[in-house]
Amino acid sequence: MYKRHLRLYPIVILPLVAVILFLLWQGKKLESGTLGSAITNAGSQNNFIESAKHPLSIMLLQILVILSVARLVGYVFSRIGQQAVIGEITAGIILGPSLLGWLMPGAFGFLFPASSLPNLQLLSQIGLVLFMFIIGMELDIHTLKSRASEAILVSHVSIVFPYFLGVGLAYFLYETYAPANISFIAFALFMGIAMSITAFPVLARILKERNITKTKAGSMAIISAAIGDVSAWCILPFVIAIARAGDISNAWFSIFLTAVYVLVMLFAVRPILKKLSVRYFADGNLHGNFIAFVFLVLLASAYTAELIGIHALFGAFLAGAIMPNNFTLRNLFAERIEDVSTFLLMPLFFAFTGLRTQIGLLNDSHLWLICTLIILLAVAGKLIGSAFTSKLVGYSWKDALRIGVLMNTRGLMELIVLNIGYDLGILKPEIFTMLVFMALATTFMTAPALDLIERIFPQKKKLI
């Protein structure tokens, strides 16, 4: 049978190919001579160059380069005991004007032309929307409730104390380093947020890698970070509303709409999701109709938040938080989204952040002094706020310091907040660059600081 089919192949195909070639040859005669030569010359000279400059070609090349560099630098960082995500963040800065643009301006200009940056930003924002949806789903509301009495003091002091330091710092930076059209209240409130963020996802990965998730210090850190992130992401919409309105008095309408929107999501959309999950997830399999509805809720929530003026990322975070409290269901959704978000789209966000980070702007000792001060205040705010409060509620100095170091991890969540501030015009490029350095420094020091604590407070051997 197989040989018979091969014998029939030339009998059927070759006559058709011959007819196609004959028609093409006859049709060629219909062209004018001028048209034919113009097309030939233009194609031979410019086809490759024009294809390379096409927006789709540039975007594909950008993704290829960004993913390759991100994976390579992430691997190098993982080999020296750091989180791979820190390497990916660093890769973004390497590809930006601070290094690639400085060493090879021609290659940088070809790879990241100004006209391509809006497309790269939009694609990275889609990645952030999916990422924040996953973060919302990863919050275990029942665990937060059961341990809230123990963790709420540590969590909120770890926010309020660095927030206080951030507002105090803003008082001294405002006149020189705040944009002209931004009020002091908006600038100060945002600086407070920037100083008080904890990177919940990075912290969770560090705990898992070190196998301390279920220890007393590890569980306190993860719950405090979760409560802290929820608190910070509840404060941030109001800060954004004030920044966009220009003043608190003009932001009340946005704040009112935000309250209505949150109530609708909690008391109208959430019950519907719960009922649909019971109907469509009874057999343990995700049905297409339910998947489509969840994505509609995600997009509608993100769009509503953006429309109100509190940023789409808060809407994505809230959509994830109201998902039914079914671990298997949430895990299946996270598995479907996480690979695309984390390994494909998030490196684009790191690269875009790197394009905005201009180390060359910090061109005198005074600016580097301010950058150092920002890092020191950020570390002091989190370390003192978390560690001393943990000690007050009964933890040993070793566990209290571990909690303080873990809460000082900022990482990706900090970069998300900083980019929001940059997009809103709250942060000048100089302050943005300093705060990016702070995010990298506080995240990078987590692993060495934990190792140092282990050496200072060695594990006691049990007597047999």
Q: How many Cβ atoms are within 10 Å of 274's Cβ, its own excluded? A: 15
In angstroms, what CA-CA distances link 58 with 91, 117, 128, 282, 370? 19, 10, 21, 45, 37
Q: How many Cβ atoms are within 10 Å of 237's Cβ, its own excluded? A: 24
For residue 156, what pLDDT is reported? 84
Under 8 Å between Cβ of 371 and 408: no
CA neighbours closer than 13 Å in the CB half-sphere of residue 50? 6
pLDDT tier at 319, thresholds 50, 70, 90? very high
Which of these ranges, 2-6, 33-37, 84-88, has the smallest mean pLDDT? 33-37
Which of 63-72, 251-260, 307-316, 343-352 has the largest mean confidence? Answer: 63-72
Q: Look up the CATH architecture of domain 128-344+361-456.
A: Up-down Bundle (1.20)
Under 8 Å between Cβ of 417 and 193: yes
For residue 62, what pLDDT is reported? 92
**Mean of pLDDT values over 337-363:** 86
For residue 394, what pLDDT is reported? 83
pLDDT at 93 over 60: yes
- Residue 247 DSSP class: S
Which contacts qualify for 422-428: CB closer than 8 Å, 24 or more apart?
Answer: 422/356, 424/240, 424/243, 424/244, 425/179, 425/181, 425/182, 426/178, 426/179, 426/182, 426/186, 426/187, 426/190, 426/243, 427/179, 427/190, 428/177, 428/178, 428/179
pLDDT at 76 over 60: yes
Three-state secondary structure of 48-113: HHHHHHCHHHHHHHHHHHHHHHHHHHHHHHHHCCCCHHHHHHHHHHHCCCCCHHHHCHHHHHHHCC
The packing angle between helices 397-407 and 446-456, to 10°, is 170
pLDDT at 261 over 80: yes
pLDDT digits (tens, 9 = 90+) for 402-426: 889 888 988 778 888 898 899 888 9
The first and second tokens of residue 14, run together, are: 């070759």
For residue 464, what pLDDT is reported? 44
pLDDT digits (tens, 9 = 90+) for 119-160: 888 988 898 889 888 888 876 666 556 556 667 788 888 889
pLDDT tier at 370, thresholds 50, 70, 90? very high
pLDDT at 166 over 70: yes
- Residue 215 DSSP class: S
Under 8 Å between Cβ of 398 and 327: no
Domain boundaries, the chain: 128-344+361-456
Residues in the chain: 464
- Residue 31 DSSP class: S
Tell me what the pLDDT averaged over the chain comes to: 83
pLDDT tier at 463, thresholds 50, 70, 90? very low
User: 295 burial class (0-12, 13-18, 19+ CB within 10 angstroms)?
Assistant: middle
